[in-house]
Structure 1
Amino acid sequence: MPRQIFQLKMSVAGVRPPVWRRVLVPAGYTLDRLHRVVQHAMGWRDCHLHSFEIDAVQYGEPDPDGDLVLHDELDVRLDAVLGKGSRFSYTYDFGDWWEHDLVVEDALTADPDERYPICLDGEWACPPEGIGGPVGYHALLAALSDPTHPERVMLSDWVADGFDPTFFDPAVTTTLLRRFC
């Protein structure tokens, strides 16, 4: 039987302009591998906790000492809990609370001559880690766009020199996905 590929669109919730990615991933991936895909496709550094919510069930890395009850993401294949049209969420960094909306846009047959995962498209750079969630990111964008903004210098310290919030390159992202996922 040919391998199935899911076309996923992932968007950071609560930010404008939209930060999103469209990727192709094997449907046989487990949720822990999808976590790595989200991290590298979006541009996060994987320094914080995360969880998925699919049909009101929480998945992630179980912590026996933690308060959050999570089903183990290592035990769950995408094709066992998702299909074409499925919508679910991924939350990264429980302090800044970066929520991502994900949708399985299509289920395709794998091209035997292609390597997966692949980033097809996307827009805008990933928000910086530790900026304070969507509210902090909007404050950063406002400061970067106004040279006279009173918090420009302080907020600019959160980003690397040359940070361009409008820049995104799917080819570079595909290289990262193939190397680390």
Structure 2
Amino acid sequence: MEGLIDPETFFKSMGLDTAPKHVGKVRRPKFVKFEQGDRGDFLPDCFFEDPRTWDPEPGPLGQVHAWGLYPYHFDDDPALDEENKKLNWPNFDGVQAAMRKMNYQFKYRGKLPNPETQFMDVLLERKEKQLKNIDLKGLEKRDVLCRISLSGVRDKRGQPRIWRRFRVSAGITLSTFQDKAIAPIMGWVRNFHCYTFTDFRDGALFGPVDMQSVDFVHAAHVGYDYLPDNKYKLAHLFGQEGDQIGYLYDFGDRWMHTIEVLKIFPLEESTGALELIDGKGMCPGENMRGCHQYEEFLKKYDAGSPAEKAKRKREILDSPNYTFFGKAPALFDPDSFNEDEARERLAEALSSSGSVRAGPKKFTMPIMPGALAMVDDMENPLVKKNQTITKQSDGDGLGQWREITSSGRDSRKEAVCAQCGKPAAPDVKLKVCGGCRQVM
């Protein structure tokens, strides 16, 4: 077809034997509509189904990831396919997605949304209706003990090498949970990359509204779309002790985490306070390419010479989330966990305003005189009341870290006590917190 990239030529250029078997064949979708000239080439199989009756199959662990849109098997890599029976990760075909975008992204510029959007809009609406009628049975008023672990990064015994245990109110809004709890206790940079929470019971995704981080371009790799996480609470994602929740950080690197609900406290024992209990292992460096790669990185670290270990320590410490370290690299131990530093990060996050998702942290390298002023002109319209563009030069002074930050109060639905982390509620006035009695 004129204007389309030849599939066979492209796939051979990528070192692959042939294009997927369905490419070039006309298939009729059960629900979505195609623009004229779109044969459905390179469109994942799920989008040919009917989203009104979509009932995804769980993976090897009985969990549904990313709306159930992707397969869980890796046909081209038997070793990885066997390994994934323990991890249950979805297999996204990036080459297929690239071909789909290159061939058809400009065909849907009129009134008809692209097939992926048509399909996802129905899934989102179905989940919204379900959540609107759900009875949380008071779960949102109770505290839970959770453990978050980095999936696929294991020690020699096969146990998670990096994890944190903490107590939190199940009534905390998911947006605040990520921004003021998970990011600081794990050690990730706040408001740097996009993320999603997964309800493993049906694969529904929840993520940040208006997120403008650079990795958002990979949204199709991790589920295409999600419900706004500032409308839902942690209690919406589980129902009983032992339930697990998915948390994915960074759409590019795809750091997969599992959050397990270890205990649900009785109402009379629930204070709402957010408390870090303990943990193990230092957080990976930002932009270190994800769980599989980091596990291999640590294996090489374990087997390396002192010089090799020193080199790998410096690689981690050069990451944006280790600017605070301030010690000799020799003192860094990837298997240690400094609870005091994590609690300091948690306290700092709780006492600050929520992150501005429309202005995430980005690194800007000017390529000509006046370039930073041009960036100011582009970002200034995004700045709202009580917000400002925070700028910080990097070590060599060549580039600049930029982020829109807020000094205003968080919205009531996302607010937590600045001292203890107890979330706002109809019966909780945060001028004086009902948990720690500290004045806001």
Aligned to 1:89: 246
Which among 136, 142, 166 is matched to residue 335 of structure 2? 166
3-state DSSP of counterpart to 1:131: coil
* Structure 2 unmatched ranges of 5 or more: 1-137, 212-216, 318-328, 351-440
Equivalent in 198, 202, 205 of residue 53 of structure 1: 198
Instruction: Identify the residue that residue 25 of structure 1 maps to in structure 2.
Output: 168
Deviation, structure 1 residue 107: 1.2
Shift of residue 123 of structure 1? Answer: 0.8
Comparing 62-71 with 2-11, which one deviates more in the overlay?
Answer: 62-71
Q: TM-score, normalised by structure 1?
A: 0.83
Counterparts of 1:1-181 in structure 2, within 5 Å, are 3-17=141-155, 18=160, 19-36=162-179, 37-46=181-190, 47-54=192-199, 55=201, 56-63=203-210, 67=220, 68-85=224-241, 86-108=243-265, 109=267, 116-145=273-302, 146-147=304-305, 155-160=312-317, 161=329, 162-181=331-350
Q: Distance in 2 between matches of 1:35 and 1:116?
A: 16
Taking the aligned partners of 1:43 and 1:128, their CA distance within structure 2 comes to 9
Cα separation, partners in 2 of 1:81 and 1:137, compared to 1, 3 Å: closer
Larger Rg: 2
Q: TM-score, normalised by structure 2?
A: 0.37
Distance 2:268 2:173 in 1: 17
**C-alpha displacement at 1:111, in angstroms?**
5.2
Q: Give the secondary-structure state (helix, strand or coil) at the position aligned to 2:316.
A: coil
Q: Kindly tell me: are residues 169 and 116 of structure 1, through their superposed partners in 2, closer, same or farther at Cα, counting changes over 3 Å? A: farther
SS in 2 for 1:10: strand
CA shift in 2, pair 1:159/1:57, >3 Å: same
- Partner SS, residue 159 of structure 1: helix
- Between Structure 1 and Structure 2, the one with more helix by share is 2
Deviates more, 1:167-176 or 1:4-13: 167-176
Is the CA contact (8 Å cut-off) linking 1:96 and 1:132 kept in structure 2? yes
One-letter amino acid matched to 1:57: A
Q: Which secondary structure state, in structure 2, belongs to the residue aligned with residue 74 of structure 1? A: coil
Asked if the contact 2:284/2:316 (under 8 Å) is kept, the reply is no
What is the rounded CA distance, in whole Å, between the counterparts of 1:153 and 1:172 in structure 2?
Answer: 22
Distance 1:80 1:16 in 2: 29
User: RMSD of the alignment, in Å?
Assistant: 2.8
Q: CA deviation at 1:116?
A: 2.2
Shift of 1:58: 0.5
> What's the CA shift for 1:23?
0.6
Identity %: 25
- One-letter code of the match for 2:172? Y
| Equivalent residue number for residue 123 of structure 2 | none
Question: Equivalents in 2 of 1:133, 1:9: separation in Å?
Answer: 20
